[in-house]
C-alpha cells in the first residue's frame, strides 16, 4: 500500500500534469475557434463567388446567343454581297468582332470564378476537418483531465474490486464529458451566437446613431428581442443542468414545470399523473428520479416519433413506481439488448445503470409500431418514510 507521502507526491505530480494539459487544451480550443472563424469567412466568400458565377454564366449564355445572331447576319451579307453596301458589310464584321471580344472576356471571367469557387470549396473541406480534429482533441483532453482530477484515494476506499472501479470510473468520465460537450455545444449554438449578434448590432447602432435615428431605434428594438431570447436560452440550459424548482419546491413541482416546458418546446402532448400521497424524498433520490424521467422524454423526442406521452409517478409505502409510455414507432427490445452487448450505447442503457445504482429495477416493453412502456421501481430507504 502506498504511504501518505507517496500519495501527496502523486497529487503534486498530477497537479502539474493537469496544469500542462489545461494549457494545451486552451491552445487547442483557440486553434479550433480560429479555424471556425476562418471557415465562416471563407463560406461567406464562397456564397458570393457562387452568386457571381451564376450571374456570369447567364451573361455568357446571353452573349453566345447574340454572337450566333451576329454570325448569321454576317453569313447573309456574304451570301448576297452585291445586295449590301460596303458600310453594311463593314458594320456586320465589326459587330461580330465586338461581340466575340466581349464573349472572350466573359468566358475568361467565368473560368476564373470557377477556379476560385473550386479553391474555396477545397479550403472549406480542409478547414472543416481541422475544426473537427481540434474539437475531438479538446474532448479527449477533457477526458484525461476528468480522470486525473478524480480523488484516487477516495476511489480506492470506496471500491475494492479493481475491475469494477475501472468500469465505473470510465463510465462516469464518459458521462461527464458527453454532458460537458452537450452543454458546450448548446452554449456555442445558442447564447454565444446571440452575444455575437448583439455585438454586431451594437456596432451597427453606433454607426447609425448620427445618421438615421429611426433605423437606430428599429435596430435597438430588434437588439432587445435578441437579448430576451438569449436570456431565455440561458435559463433553459440552467434548468436542464439543475432545475431550481427541484431544490426549492420538490420533485413533483419540478416535474410539472419540466413537462410544461417539454410540451411547448417539442410539441409532444405529455400528461403527468401523481398517485398516492406526495412526500419529500432524499435530495439524491429526487434528483435521480427527475433525471430518469427527463432522459425518458429525451429518448421519446429523439427516437419514438410520438405525438403523445404519459408519465405516472406513484408514491407507495416503501418504493416509488414510475411508468413512462409513448405511442410512437417502438422497437425490438431483444435486438436492442443484443446491440448494447456489441457496442457502446446510451439513453436506455444509462437509465438502467442509474436504476441499478439506486437498488431498483427497470423493465422495457416495446414492439415495432406499438410504442414503448418503461417501468421503473425504486426502493425508498426507511429514513425517507
- CA dist 346 and 171 (Å) reads 11
- Report pLDDT for 225: 81
d(CA 253, CA 156): 39
The cell 415495432 sits on which residue?
Answer: 368
pLDDT in tens, 128-146: 887 777 777 767 766 666 6
pLDDT interval class at 176 (50, 70, 90): low
| Predicted local confidence at residue 237, as pLDDT | 67
DSSP state of 303: I
pLDDT for 181 beyond 50: yes
All domains of the chain, ordered by start, with CATH? 4-158 (1.10.287.2610), 244-384 (3.30.565.10)
Nearest Cα neighbor of 376 from 326, 335, 322, 317 is 322
- The grid coordinates of residue 329 equal 414507432
> In a 3-state reduction of DSSP, which class is residue 159?
coil
pTM above 0.85, yes or no: no
pLDDT 10s digits, 325-347: 999 998 888 877 666 544 444 56
Residue whose C-alpha cell reads 406513484 in the numeric block: 314
In angstroms, the CA 234 to CA 172 distance is 25
* Residues sharing a CB contact under 8 Å with residue 314, sequence separation 6 or more, in sequence order: 274, 275, 276, 320, 321, 322, 323
pLDDT at 157 over 70: no
Q: In 3D, which of 169, 149, 150 has the Cα closest to residue 159?
A: 169
pLDDT 10s digits, 37-54 = 888 888 888 888 888 888
Rounded mean pLDDT, 117-125: 85
More confident residue, 144 or 88: 88
CB 196 within 8 Å of CB 226: no
Longest CA–CA separation in the chain, Å: 117
Average pLDDT over residues 174-178: 61
What are the distances in angstroms from CA 139 to CA 27, 28, 236?
Answer: 13, 10, 24
Listed range (27-41, 266-280, 282-296, 341-355) with the worst mean pLDDT = 341-355
Q: What is the mean pLDDT of residues 353-376?
A: 90
The confidence band for 162, taking pLDDT boundaries of 50, 70 and 90, is very low
Lowest mean pLDDT among 122-126, 153-157, 356-360: 153-157
Amino acid at each position: 500500500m502506498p504511504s501518505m507521502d507517496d500519495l501527496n507526491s502523486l497529487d503534486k505530480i498530477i497537479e502539474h500534469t493537469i496544469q500542462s494539459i489545461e494549457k494545451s487544451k486552451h491552445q487547442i480550443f483557440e486553434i479550433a475557434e480560429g479555424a471556425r472563424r476562418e471557415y465562416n469567412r471563407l463560406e461567406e466568400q464562397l456564397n458570393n463567388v457562387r452568386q457571381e458565377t451564376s450571374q456570369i454564366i447567364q451573361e455568357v449564355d446571353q452573349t453566345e446567343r447574340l454572337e450566333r445572331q451576329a454570325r448569321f447576319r454576317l453569313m447573309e451579307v456574304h451570301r448576297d454581297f452585291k445586295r449590301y453596301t460596303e458600310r453594311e458589310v463593314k458594320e456586320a464584321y465589326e459587330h461580330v468582332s465586338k461581340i466575340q471580344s466581349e464573349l472572350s472576356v466573359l468566358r475568361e471571367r467565368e473560368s476564373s470564378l470557377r477556379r476560385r469557387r473550386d479553391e474555396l470549396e477545397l479550403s472549406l473541406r480542409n478547414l472543416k476537418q481541422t475544426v473537427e480534429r481540434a474539437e475531438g482533441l479538446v474532448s479527449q483532453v477533457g477526458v484525461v483531465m476528468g480522470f486525473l482530477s478524480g480523488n484516487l484515494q477516495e476511489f480506492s476506499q470506496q471500491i475494492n474490486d479493481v475491475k469494477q472501479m475501472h468500469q465505473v470510473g470510465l463510465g462516469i468520465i464518459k458521462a461527464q464529458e458527453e454532458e460537458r460537450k452537450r452543454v458546450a455545444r448548446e452554449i456555442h449554438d445558442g447564447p454565444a451566437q446571440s452575444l455575437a449578434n448583439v455585438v454586431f448590432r451594437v456596432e451597427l447602432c453606433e454607426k447609425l446613431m448620427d445618421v438615421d435615428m429611426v433605423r437606430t431605434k428599429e435596430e435597438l428594438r430588434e437588439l432587445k428581442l435578441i437579448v430576451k431570447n438569449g436570456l431565455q436560452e440561458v435559463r433553459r440550459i440552467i434548468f436542464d443542468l439543475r432545475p431550481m424548482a427541484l431544490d426549492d419546491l420538490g420533485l413533483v413541482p419540478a416535474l410539472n414545470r419540466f413537462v410544461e416546458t417539454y410540451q411547448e418546446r417539442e410539441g409532444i402532448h405529455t400528461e403527468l399523473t401523481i398517485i398516492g400521497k406526495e412526500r419529500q424524498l432524499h435530495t439524491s433520490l429526487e434528483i435521480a428520479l427527475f433525471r430518469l424521467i427527463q432522459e425518458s422524454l429525451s429518448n421519446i423526442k429523439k427516437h419514438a416519433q410520438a405525438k403523445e406521452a404519459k408519465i405516472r409517478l406513484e408514491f407507495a409505502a416503501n418504493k416509488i413506481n414510475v411508468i413512462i409510455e409513448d405511442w410512437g414507432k417502438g422497437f425490438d427490445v431483444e435486438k436492442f439488448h443484443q446491440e448494447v452487448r456489441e457496442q457502446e450505447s446510451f439513453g436506455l442503457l444509462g437509465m438502467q445503470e442509474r436504476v441499478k445504482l439506486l437498488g431498483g429495477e427497470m423493465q422495457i416493453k416495446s414492439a415495432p409500431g406499438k410504442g414503448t412502456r418503461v417501468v421503473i421501481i425504486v426502493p425508498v430507504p426507511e429514513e425517507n418514510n
